[in-house]
Amino acid sequence: MSRYPRAVCVYCGSRSGNEPAWKEAAAALGAGLAARGIEMVYGGGNVGLMGAAADAAMAAGGRVTGIIPRDLEVREHGHRAVSELHVVDSMHERKLLMAKLSDAFVSLPGGLGTLDETFEILTWRQLRFHDKPIVLADIGGYWQPLLDLLNAQVEHGFVDPAHLSLMTVVRSVEDVFAVLDAAGP
């Protein structure tokens, strides 16, 4: 029987932030994916949490596929030591390929790019362009202000509460795996 999910997309910061717990979570996620034989798909950088997750997955013998736009390859330091690095022409191509190659999505702490990626994949699910699990890893309460905003959006009548349940919020990497392990195709 083939494993599900076969590949998981990780969205996270190209910086590490200022709490060691975030880098530790990125490394634990990468290593945990490798230990389960799940391919890690990500933005292809070797910096910040992206690099920490990819390095840990590779060190644990996992398969890591990076996807990076040509223009960013130099700026964001394309990772040369991953299993496969796709260099694509645009950010749109990158995000589409990351989505296509993945069976589920996990967002760790990150910056504007992580927000953009998380909400793009969430809105695509809201519009029924896909029905793959999305997990927001609220490590150390990093995403709490965002969750407050989302709840306010529901309260003010701009967001259907059912659409918020298209993204599962967890507090630890262990709980990310609990969600992934329970997910079915």
Choosing from 76, 106, 132, 173, the residue that interacts with ligand AMP (CB under 6 A) is 76
How far is the CA of 45 from the CAs of 14, 110, 116, 121, 163, in angstroms?
Answer: 7, 13, 17, 20, 31
d(CA 8, CA 132): 10
Q: Does 116 bind ligand AMP (CB under 6 A)?
A: yes
Beta pairing partners, 10: 106
Q: Which stretch binds ligand AMP (CB under 6 A): 1-9, 56-64, 104-112, 128-136?
A: 104-112
Choosing from 6, 15, 77, 130, the residue that interacts with ligand AMP (CB under 6 A) is 15
With CB under 6 A as the rule, give the number of residues binding ligand AMP: 15
Give the residue nearest to ligand AMP (CB).
113
**Min. distance of Cβ 16 from ligand AMP in angstroms?**
10
Of 80 and 156, nearer to ligand AMP (C-beta) is: 80
| 173 Cβ contact list (under 8 Å, min separation 6) | 25, 28, 29, 32, 137, 139
Give the angle 141-171-128 at the CA atoms, nearest 5°.
105
Give residues in contact with ligand AMP (CB under 6 A): 13-15, 43, 45, 72, 76, 91, 110-114, 116-117
